[in-house]
């Protein structure tokens, strides 16, 4: 006699076959009298390009596709899911900026809902609810409003300098602590003391488990949504339920902390505390509070990985390019001096430091493919048909390696952002922050954090290659991790105070924390 599990598995297969046949028939009917899709690999019946889509370093693979099919616009499909890849910035601007009303959706990913990640504003589909949250985000994080967080960012960066002096070999951990610490402080007024903090452990565990379910091929639930309606596909749904529990705790614990602090009159300056202190009663206020809770959790869960990745790239880049490091340090010395650390008001007077910031996010964008957009209606572009419901990926990796705009794009060269007279050129758009109506609303806060980190570390420390016991320089592998967020793989470098005065500054900061 067949077990319940056997029956469920058989039912899953039957449902899958029916779903695929229905999708295939629908696609064939629709293909009647239309323009061609953009170029791409020829797919198989029913399965489409299921076995063509790359599962590792896809941004590089799509660059290769562009050469093979002689096109910057690429198309593929798998099990009825349609995908458009844009390798060129002009195409991305035309579709995602100029036609943003049709290209601002988000693909529905079934596992996201099962894990409770639909709180994430960045993953919300385009519509009234998203616009409501987006309006609050804009009011909270626009360029002038971002200055509200400068004191917190400054304090946390200075704290990191003290930690680098004490334990320079642990620079990766210090960078992670900086990213998490700033976000928890700015959103909730919570001062993280260590990465072992219970608040952090809950969030990190949920993110780690959840990200595993978003990896291509991790679960059929992402490509065959009907399977979500079948009684427990044991392992996947059990894991998703575990992630949901952790996600709910990640949102609840810091919010409860902020509420208690406001009631007790001990709240530190933060987004949530600022709202709660002036909150009024009524349905509108309740809706806004829930929106703030979701926005704060989105910022914490979605942005820390980006800052961590960019911080690792900064240390790596300075290690392999000592010349540009020396130029930036000389600039900082001439503008700031040695008696204080760089401040935000110095930013416009430090073009070399600014060029390093821009080049870090160009050379190694933390999210090489960005977050996919979704078309909300059929469209035609350059003679190609782009159907409604197509996931659109911006290959930022390819765009930032366009040889016409960035010669030797695979090399770290901050001077590409400088004119011959040493001033910055007008290439100030950071593609890593996204496109159109889905551009990162927190980009001004993120930019301020990364810039101050770069300027402060360069003012205080020399970053060089580590040496082994015999005094020989340790070679650094150039590898980066795969996934939605790409980070530099672990490496060693030497971080030492630039001078006695720099050591004193860092020591004073460490003691004062």
Average confidence (pLDDT) over 139-161: 93
Average confidence (pLDDT) over 413-422: 97
The alpha carbon of residue 454 and the mean position of all alpha carbons in its chain are separated, in whole angstroms, by 19
Q: What is the pLDDT of residue 305?
A: 81
Least confident of 27-41, 43-57, 248-262: 27-41
| 328 has pLDDT over 70 | yes
Q: Where are the alpha helices (DSSP H) in 265-321?
A: 271-277, 283-320
Q: How confident is the model at residue 131 (pLDDT cuts 50, 70, 90)?
A: very high
Least confident of 122-131, 205-214, 407-416: 205-214
Q: What is the pLDDT of residue 513?
A: 63
Which H or E run contains 62?
A: helix 58-68
Average confidence (pLDDT) over 122-136: 91
Q: Is 440 one of the annotated binding-site residues?
A: yes
% pLDDT > 70, the chain: 88
Q: How confident is the model at residue 511 (pLDDT cuts 50, 70, 90)?
A: confident
Count of other CB atoms within 10 angstroms of residue 415:
14
Write the CA distances from 35 to 41, 71, 447, 488, 513, integer angstroms. Answer: 17, 16, 42, 42, 64
Q: What is the pLDDT of residue 230?
A: 56
Per the DSSP assignment, residues forming a β-bridge with 494 are: 464
Average confidence (pLDDT) over 161-190: 94
Per-residue pLDDT tens over the stretch 94-120? 999 999 999 999 988 888 888 888 888
| 352 has pLDDT over 70 | yes
Average confidence (pLDDT) over 441-464: 96
Q: How confident is the model at residue 300 (pLDDT cuts 50, 70, 90)?
A: confident
Q: pLDDT: is 85 or 220 the higher one?
A: 85
Q: Are 509 and 162 in contact (CB under 8 A)?
A: yes
% pLDDT > 90, the chain: 63
């Amino acid at each position: 006699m067949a077990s319940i599990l056997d029956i469920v598995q058989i039912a899953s297969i039957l449902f899958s076959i029916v779903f695929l046949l229905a999708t295939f028939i629908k696609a064939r009917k629709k293909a009647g009298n239309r323009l061609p899709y953009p170029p791409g690999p020829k797919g198989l019946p029913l399965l489409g390009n299921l076995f063509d889509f790359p599962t590792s370093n896809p941004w590089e693979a799509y660059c290769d596709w562009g050469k093979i099919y002689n096109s910057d616009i690429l198309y593929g499909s798998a099990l009825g899911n349609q995908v458009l890849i844009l390798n060129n910035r002009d195409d991305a601007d035309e579709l995602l900026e100029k036609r943003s009303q049709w290209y601002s959706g988000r693909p529905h990913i079934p596992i996201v809902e099962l894990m409770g990640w639909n709180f994430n504003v960045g993953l919300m589909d385009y519509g009234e609810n998203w616009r409501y949250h987006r309006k609050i985000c804009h009011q909270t994080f626009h360029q002038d409003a971002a200055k509200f967080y400068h004191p917190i960012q400054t304090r946390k960066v200075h704290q990191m300098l003290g930690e680098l002096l004490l334990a320079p070999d642990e620079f990766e951990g210090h960078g992670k602590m900086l990213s998490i610490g700033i976000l928890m402080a700015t959103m909730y007024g919570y001062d993280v003391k260590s990465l072992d903090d219970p608040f952090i452990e809950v969030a990190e565990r949920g993110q780690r488990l959840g990200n595993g379910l978003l990896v291509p091929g991790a679960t059929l639930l992402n490509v065959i949504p009907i399977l979500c309606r079948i009684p427990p596909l044991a392992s996947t749904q059990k894991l998703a339920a575990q992630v949901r529990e952790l996600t709910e705790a990640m949102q609840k614990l810091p919010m409860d902390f902020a509420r208690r602090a406001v009631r007790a009159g001990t709240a530190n300056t933060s987004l949530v505390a600022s709202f709660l202190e002036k909150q009024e009663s009524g349905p509108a206020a309740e809706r806004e509070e829930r929106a703030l809770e979701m926005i704060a959790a989105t910022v914490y869960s979605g942005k820390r990985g980006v800052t961590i990745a960019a911080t690792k790239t900064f240390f790596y880049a300075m290690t392999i390019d000592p010349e540009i490091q020396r130029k930036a340090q000389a600039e900082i010395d001439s503008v700031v001096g040695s008696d204080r650390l760089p401040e935000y008001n110095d930013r416009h007077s430090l073009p070399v430091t600014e060029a390093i910031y821009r080049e870090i996010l160009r050379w190694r964008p933390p999210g090489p493919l960005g977050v996919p957009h979704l078309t909300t209606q059929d469209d035609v572009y350059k003679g190609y048909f782009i159907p409604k419901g197509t996931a659109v990926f911006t290959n930022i990796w390819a765009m930032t390696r366009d040889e016409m705009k960035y010669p030797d794009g695979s090399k770290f060269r901050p001077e590409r952002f400088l004119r011959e007279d040493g001033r910055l050129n007008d290439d100030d758009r950071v593609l890593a922050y996204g496109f159109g109506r889905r551009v990162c609303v927190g980009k001004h806060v993120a930019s301020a954090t990364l810039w101050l980190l770069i300027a402060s570390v360069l003012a205080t420390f020399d970053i060089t290659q580590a040496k082994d016991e015999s005094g020989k320089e340790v070679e650094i592998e150039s590898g980066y991790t795969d996934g939605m967020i790409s980070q530099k793989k672990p490496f060693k470098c030497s971080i030492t105070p630039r001078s006695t005065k720099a050591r004193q500054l860092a020591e004073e900061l460490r003691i004062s924390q």
